[in-house]
Structure 1
């Protein structure tokens, strides 16, 4: 395996004068990014923060996001990114669970860092601005002996369970994430520019290193706002963008794409959650035949399977998440761990160089998730079609058992989403004395649109089996989602079961 630190050094040596990072009207060359990364490592080392230290990062998207990441990788630190949207209690729990002893914060998040210092015994806080402050003497490259099994990232994920757990990626697995992306999704050229609007601590950040090793640039926005995002495509002549489905829906609903200059775009990438068919149809119409979907998990980023732009030309494949990536083995297993037959539904189990080392200090969870010979259970249910495309069905934890039949929420959600009045929806199982679980839908309507419960139920029944249709429909303002745009079915399901107790 190639080490992540080796890839950082390789890009810095190969392209010192090229532009690496663009933020608004500011930019950094490869040499400047590398020099600032060395400065950060130098300052932290002066405070006794070296290889193996767990360092929490309260760093939003900005000019020094990439230097901070590269400093951590080269110095052998174990970075623990904290999502700024989480509460103080959640941040404190993450620090305790990860054994982080240091927090680095940018200016906007320094108040939260101060709160955490008060809350967490022994925690030290450092300002990112101070860590990039120049020093009189020349700052050398961090001289740290690293190997492929050295942890480099503890990334918290709740998945759909609501229970926070930290995924451990190493120098080797993080390097393999880079090569996985280059082999399966992207082929950046020296003139390529990826526009980042999603937080770099999640999937969007995994694209930075592949662009770095190819001499390409990362244009970084502080967050996603439709009008400024579209303006930035033209400003930076972005060649690739990476979005989640909710972002596409916002772009279309706000009308900012009308008359927009999208001529620089070569590829539009999406993932993180299922794309509603109407949103996909509109996106292909607006952006053209350049869409690519990836399926992955925090435990195995970024690409377990890929539906490329050629597959998007066939509408019958729009429900697929793609063909397996070239560097992954996949098998579908039944509840007893035996392979399922052709076309049958099973849990995805995989083995790949980019999969996590394991969950941090979670022996029981690791035993349930990782086999002795290296296979990872994903808890995702899927089937292969006759052409070898993988079709996700649902999470094992989200499956509804009603009247003895298995119902996969996504089937009902796809049928509901095809109704013109539906903006977004989620389907869960509610306790029921007769059926054990009753299929229950939550629906947010489009602005100005109307639909009755009976109308939506009939719409679904006309498209899928009757037992899969909702027994009831509850209308809501919005569907709850995670920080990366995934529908949180548990947030809808749990109150229904609490009420029944």
Structure 2
């Protein structure tokens, strides 16, 4: 039933299937695209643009250095710990061309988090920003890392500007703490030594691991999802297919505020956009809205990739609302639930509807997307080509259309498994290739799907299921609410009671009574929160996703209950 159900759900011009074996590996896609689009811009940051031809040349120099000046061999892991700077694609594609496995690492990690990831992955090399090198100094001796390459933010800018920017960051802003890594090599020295040398181009099988992408650890210890060349090639082809004719080859300008080390931005900007030769404008610090809007004002951008919290923040920014959006034709949302109020406001401000998608690290990540020509706000769209979805109950039985249960995904983009964790892999991935997502969802008769909430975030009030996403959607429509979150806390009478956290927009006064009145008017009685707490900020992940788990753990601590597992 599932196989046939999806075949006729795609808009005209979008095939239901892709060929995940069209390319043997990422190297083949990179070579073809960099030759075909050699003179087209690939990445821009801090006023400097790399063309696809230059990207291939620099990544080749990086690869040649790794092959000729280190003892690294194909299959070894290299941790890349960089923000959105030009060095990121150079290092990643260079490492892949040398046959290494890329371990994407968050630059904001603490020493403890770095140590876990480096040890768990068995990384033998590290590329990091000078700003974080003091942490590497503490961590590297405890791990298998033997080769460290350090770069400064402006290393790929022209000489004079490079000196100026790096000096300001180091001496004026004092953002580079002192560090001592005597065996570390400078990024530009790596390129100098590798430039002009022959690269022994790796040619891995499609089933070999290309990237170890660690989950955020919000449900326990972070695990490395093994994403193969075939997984990533399939996902880039799926993204291209479902975008249809919305993005032309070699001429689009895509704003890139989400970090490339995050799987969402990694696959879309480094993989899918490479395939069609488009231009990614890298935003190094999206939290600095003023600087970001200033950068946006320089471009007639046609695509924007973001998530709910960023859309809300930008639409509340007066300078952003004055930008020229006449070229904007695609806005993509993922990473967290898109709230209706945010989607409507973005459309009002920019004139462009948001295509919400859905995915996980374990699905490389894109599993479903709203086709741009047929968007249903409030849904996560339909499965990308060659992908199936089903809803199951707690017993693992498939449920009929319209019923709520756990969403499962099957397709060529589903990971090989968790790195060195067979038990964890078996819990989430069955022998037929179905991946349990841990998300509660339903499938509509038209094939579009709705995420109700995370299975582990569901609140049980007197036997009734309450989904935080629904409460947060309702809260977000209350004038004056900037951010909000809902959690369940233990309650003797009802099992759990609902607590909500609210961040109010600057200059607005909002009372608990107004919040409760709004909730009573919009949700049934058992869904009305028991407690309201106003905060200046809410804890978020590096991409801006609100951490309900952290809020819940804080409440548990107050009650003297051990943290959630």
Q: Give yes or no for TM over 0.5.
A: yes
Match of 2:233 among 175, 193, 200: 175
Partner of 2:26: 4
Q: Superposition RMSD on alpha carbons, in Å?
A: 2.0
Give the deviation of 1:231 after TM superposition.
3.0
On the 8 A contact 1:19/1:217 being kept in 2, the answer is yes
Cα shift readout 1:312-359 (whole Å, capped 9, x = no counterpart): 4xxxx4221212222210000000000112211011111111111111
Partner of 1:126: 149
On the 8 A contact 1:11/1:30 being kept in 2, the answer is yes
What are the residue-to-residue correspondences of 1:7-26 with 2, within 5 Å? Answer: 7-26=29-48
Partner of 2:314: 251
Partner of 2:117: 94
On the 8 A contact 1:226/1:256 being kept in 2, the answer is no
Match of 2:274 among 212, 216, 238: 212
Give the deviation of 1:311 after TM superposition.
4.0
Give the deviation of 1:409 after TM superposition.
1.3
Further displaced range: 396-405 or 100-109? 100-109
Give the deviation of 1:115 after TM superposition.
3.0
Partner of 1:278: 341
d(CA) in 1 for partners of 2:430 and 2:107? 34
**1:12 and 1:97, CA in 2 relative to 1: closer, same or farther beyond 3 A?**
same
On the 8 A contact 2:34/2:53 being kept in 1, the answer is yes
Further displaced range: 404-413 or 133-142? 133-142
Structure 2: where are the runs of 5+ without partners? 1-20, 152-186
Partner of 2:259: 199
On the 8 A contact 2:61/2:196 being kept in 1, the answer is no
On the 8 A contact 2:111/2:136 being kept in 1, the answer is no
Give the deviation of 1:432 after TM superposition.
0.6
1:152 matches 2:214: no
**1:17 and 1:414, CA in 2 relative to 1: closer, same or farther beyond 3 A?**
closer
**1:307 and 1:136, CA in 2 relative to 1: closer, same or farther beyond 3 A?**
closer
Match of 1:340 among 381, 399, 406: 399
Partner of 2:424: 365
What are the residue-to-residue correspondences of 1:51-130 with 2, within 5 Å? Answer: 51-120=74-143, 123-128=146-151, 129-130=187-188
d(CA) in 2 for partners of 1:456 and 1:146? 57
Partner of 1:294: 357
Match of 2:526 among 455, 467, 478: 467
Give the deviation of 1:58 after TM superposition.
1.7
Match of 1:434 among 487, 490, 493: 493
Give the deviation of 1:188 after TM superposition.
3.6
d(CA) in 1 for partners of 2:504 and 2:90? 43
Partner of 1:452: 511
d(CA) in 1 for partners of 2:57 and 2:399? 53
Partner of 1:394: 453
On the 8 A contact 1:294/1:302 being kept in 2, the answer is no
d(CA) in 2 for partners of 1:205 and 1:139? 28
What are the residue-to-residue correspondences of 1:402-417 with 2, within 5 Å? Answer: 402-417=461-476
On the 8 A contact 1:160/1:489 being kept in 2, the answer is no
What is the DSSP-based 3-state SS (H/G/I as helix, E as strand, rest coil) of the residue aligned with 2:321?
A: coil
d(CA) in 2 for partners of 1:386 and 1:362? 37
Give the deviation of 1:425 after TM superposition.
1.1
Partner of 2:155: none
d(CA) in 2 for partners of 1:131 and 1:296? 38
Structure 1: where are the runs of 5+ without partners? none
d(CA) in 1 for partners of 2:194 and 2:560? 67
Partner of 1:491: 550
d(CA) in 2 for partners of 1:409 and 1:278? 16
Partner of 2:479: 420
**1:152 and 1:136, CA in 2 relative to 1: closer, same or farther beyond 3 A?**
closer
Structure 1 consecutive aligned stretches of length 4 or more whose deviation exceeds 6 Å? none
Give the deviation of 1:152 after TM superposition.
1.1
Partner of 1:261: 324
Q: How many residues align?
A: 497
d(CA) in 2 for partners of 1:177 and 1:325? 9
**1:455 and 1:162, CA in 2 relative to 1: closer, same or farther beyond 3 A?**
farther
**1:139 and 1:398, CA in 2 relative to 1: closer, same or farther beyond 3 A?**
same
1:226 matches 2:248: no
d(CA) in 2 for partners of 1:444 and 1:375? 39
d(CA) in 2 for partners of 1:367 and 1:433? 36
d(CA) in 2 for partners of 1:169 and 1:356? 5
Cα shift readout 1:365-390 (whole Å, capped 9, x = no counterpart): 10100001111110011012233220
TM-score (norm 1): 0.94
d(CA) in 2 for partners of 1:441 and 1:65? 39
Match of 2:54 among 15, 24, 32: 32
On the 8 A contact 1:39/1:131 being kept in 2, the answer is no
Cα shift readout 1:433-458 (whole Å, capped 9, x = no counterpart): 11111111111222222333233223
d(CA) in 1 for partners of 2:421 and 2:353? 41
